[in-house]
Amino acid sequence: MSLRTIIYTDPPLLAAATAARLVTAITDLQASQTKVTLALTGGRTGIAVLEHLRVNNAMTAIDWDAVDIYWGDERFLPARHRDRNETQARAALLDHVPIPPNRIHPIAPSDGPYGDDPDLAAAAYAKELAEVTLDILLAGVGEEGHTLSVFPDSPAVHESEATVVAVRDCPKPPPTRITLTLPLARQAREVWLMTTGAGKAEAVTTALSGASEVDLPAAGATGQDLTLWLLDKAAAGR
């Protein structure tokens, strides 16, 4: 596994550069395989990357008929709720590109086919991902070191078998979420961890110094081929 860290001047440059990097990565993969599987993330940086991707002139080189979209985690809220990662990703990118609807694989909402039962929704997503190897997993990093919706010393970070779990009593609102686990993240070919701001600097330094994933989950999100940390100068300040 290769580990790389790239530092950009500020968050807008990071988002634009990551979008450009994503175009290149997807088109390179499409030159050698029939489809590309990509897991998206939410948050300011994750959505900004998608917004930059939408206006990137090179984006037209992507064959959207051969891209499958998943999510690394989701807020367990009703469909089309403005705080759902799916809703924000559709507004930022997916509603603006010619991707077939059956290529988009959202996590079930709280008013979906599994009702207000996050465990059933998590189990269904795990089944959907059972035969999938993610080419690229995009993820953010929180000030306390969480990634996806896996928080320090939480039940999710101790999970060793399940690939998708429900998260309750989340320390950040909303309290109920569904997330891929670190074991599934580690099956991805590439994991891109994106974060900005001085408030993340301690978590970044600790993760890159070999911290335990129980204490700092981002340290346990590593790709099979590449783990890529994409930071602004503030997040890399330590």
**Which domains occur in the chain, in start order?**
2-232 (3.40.50.1360)
Query: Is pLDDT of 172 > 90?
Result: no
Q: How far is Cα 192 from Cα 194, in angstroms, rounded to an integer?
A: 6
* Model confidence pLDDT, tens digit, residues 50-75: 999 999 999 999 999 999 999 999 99
Strand partners, 159: none
Which residue matches tokens 């335990």? 212
* Model confidence pLDDT, tens digit, residues 118-153: 999 999 999 999 999 999 999 999 999 999 999 999
Between the alpha carbon of residue 213 and those of residues 23, 77, 124, the distances in Å are 30, 27, 26
Q: How far is Cα 159 from Cα 105, in angstroms, rounded to an integer?
A: 23
What average pLDDT does the segment 224-234 reach? 98
Query: Is pLDDT of 181 > 90?
Result: yes
* Model confidence pLDDT, tens digit, residues 82-121: 999 999 999 999 999 999 999 999 999 999 999 999 999 9
The pLDDT assigned to 1 comes to: 82
pLDDT bin (cut points 50, 70, 90) of residue 225 is: very high
Strand 136-140 relative to strand 190-195: parallel, antiparallel, unpaired? parallel
